[in-house]
Amino acid sequence: MSERRQFQGWGRTAPVMATAVTGTAGEVGDLLRSAGPRGLIARGLGRSYGDAAQNSGGEVLLPIEGQPRLVGDRVVAAAGTSLHDLIRFLLPHGRFLPVTPGTRYVSVGGAIACDVHGKSHHVTGTFGAHVDSFDLVTPDGTTRTVTAEGEPELFWATVGGMGLTGVVTSATLRTIAVESGWVDVTTDRFEDLHSLMAAMREGDDAWTYSVAWVDTLSRGRSGAGPGRSVLTRGEHAARAALDARRSGTPYPLPGDPRLGAPRGLPSGLVSPLSVRAFNELWFRKAPRHRSGELQTLATFFHPLDGVADWNRLYGPAGFVQYQLVVPDEAGDVVRDAVATLAASGHASFLAVLKRFGPANAGLLSFPMAGWTLALDLPARPGLGRLLDRLDDAVVEAGGRIYLAKDSRLRADRFAAMYPRREEFARVRDRVDPGRVLSSDLARRLDL
């Protein structure tokens, strides 16, 4: 099947027309060999915020589906399988994924291509660190089973390689044992960013999961600067920690969204005024300190998944998610970014701060040891110039921007942020000399 369709990223900022194509895993080779001059890119569930899974004027391969199966403590899944379906499959077996990002509505293939990370990166690393192997179809039509031991260059160019080394059709993933589908959560409030970062630096290593929400419009009472915050940390709950009611359903499965954002909402609903009101409510709702709270996996890991199509809240103009990472000693870049946004009036509805552990061998993988800040920003005049200035600060600090969420980075800044891009280009030259695999992001960044 092929048909002309509109595609856009989750941020809805740059819709384009392309030809949607479908096929089985066995047909991918033929689809690649017959791709037109604008090439082909595989697309998962459309949760990349920018243009990574768009191919204006070219072809877009829709998800390849299949039923997962458990083999010992590994799960074999088709590339188009969502993490939502995978978690629902694994939990009744007492298994879970070592890494899950902020939404479970991403595909296995997309998670590998973007080398997604979660609240546990400082302990578990990225999604790609738990991939045993994947089946990859390269543009010459060859299907090969790739492992980090057998073909390390191709493996680590594909993990985080934004779908530009081949089409992943299935993968074998490691899983972890969990005694329940509940998380034992501890919450703490902080009046400013300085005290939050000190607490994370001192205590994160003692927790598997850690994440902080930051109010980018506040100013701390201590005078240390903006950024009052709520820090949430958690561990998988032991079966013995469940009360009688929860023991009856030790593995509650994540369900589909109960709410949905309506179509046709105007731009401007997410404004400094509405963000300030939400932030006040959210901060006051959080306890100063609470431990021992049991939350479901869905509540702890994927709170936004409770609202379908929440990206429509930003209206037709859409929004930009900007995620940076800088080394540990460059925490000032994070504090300056929050202060700059607060002063500029570009309010972020959602600001999330985490600490990453060491980088892996991925040639274009985003995480590196240090601080990562993610911001959702309504697309408004002047935002691009502001983010350009933040890009400069990130480059100077030796950091980078997350390609899975990017929609506006310049090629020269990308080159400065990703020092292993030449190694990546050599692998691409080997497996795709004709640049059959292409995307709007690849053309924009000269990848």
What pLDDT is stored for residue 221 in this prediction? Answer: 58
What pLDDT is stored for residue 8 in this prediction? Answer: 95
Each residue's pLDDT tens digit, 325-372: 999 999 999 999 988 887 888 878 889 999 999 999 999 999 999 999
The span from the first CA to the last CA of the chain, in angstroms, equals: 29
User: What letter represents residue 385's amino acid?
Assistant: R
Each residue's pLDDT tens digit, 89-132: 999 999 999 999 999 999 999 999 999 999 999 999 999 999 99
Q: What share of the chain is helix, strand, coil (3-state, %, to 5)?
A: 35, 25, 40
User: What letter represents residue 130's amino acid?
Assistant: H
- Token pair for residue 415? 């080159």
What pLDDT is stored for residue 430 in this prediction? Answer: 97
What pLDDT is stored for residue 296 in this prediction? Answer: 96
Q: Give the pLDDT band of residue 219 (cuts 50, 70, 90).
A: low
H/E segment holding residue 196: helix 193-203
Structure-derived torsion over alpha carbons of residues 194, 195, 196, 199, reported in degrees to the nearest 10: 130
Which neighbouring-strand residues pair with 19?
A: 4, 59
CA distance 395 to 418: 10
Q: How far is CA 316 from CA 169, 264, 311, 414, in A?
A: 34, 8, 10, 28
Q: Give the pLDDT band of residue 227 (cuts 50, 70, 90).
A: confident
CB atoms within 10 A of CB 208: 17
- The 8-class DSSP code of residue 257 comes to -
pLDDT above 80 (res 7): yes
**Mean per-residue pLDDT over the chain, rounded:** 94
Question: Left, alpha or beta for 236 (phi > 0: left; psi -120 to 50: alpha)?
Answer: beta
Q: Given CA atoms 92, 97, 98, 104 in this order, what sign does their dihedral have?
A: negative
pLDDT above 90 (res 374): yes
CA distance 355 to 422: 27
Percent of the chain whose predicted confidence (pLDDT) is above 90: 82
DSSP notation for 274-295: HHHHHHHHHHHHS-SEEEEEEE
What pLDDT is stored for residue 14 in this prediction? Answer: 87
Q: How far is CA 287 from CA 62, 168, 187, in A?
A: 44, 44, 7
**What is the average pLDDT across 277-286?**
85
What pLDDT is stored for residue 275 in this prediction? Answer: 82
What pLDDT is stored for residue 419 in this prediction? Answer: 96
What pLDDT is stored for residue 78 in this prediction? Answer: 98
- The 8-class DSSP code of residue 347 comes to -
Q: Give the pLDDT band of residue 229 (cuts 50, 70, 90).
A: very high
Each residue's pLDDT tens digit, 166-209: 999 999 999 999 999 999 999 999 999 999 999 999 999 999 99
Q: Give the pLDDT band of residue 284 (cuts 50, 70, 90).
A: confident
- Token pair for residue 290? 């609470």
CA distance 447 to 445: 5
What pLDDT is stored for residue 223 in this prediction? Answer: 52
- Of residues 317 and 263, more confidence is placed in 317
What pLDDT is stored for residue 441 in this prediction? Answer: 98
CA distance 175 to 55: 33
- Token pair for residue 436? 């059959």
Each residue's pLDDT tens digit, 395-445: 999 999 999 999 999 999 999 999 999 999 999 999 999 999 999 999 999
CB 171 within 8 A of CB 108: yes
**What is the average pLDDT across 28-51?**
96
- Token pair for residue 195? 């005290």
**What is the average pLDDT across 24-49?**
96
* Rg of the chain in Å (alpha carbons): 21
Q: Given CA atoms 305, 309, 313, 319 in this order, what sign does their dihedral have?
A: positive
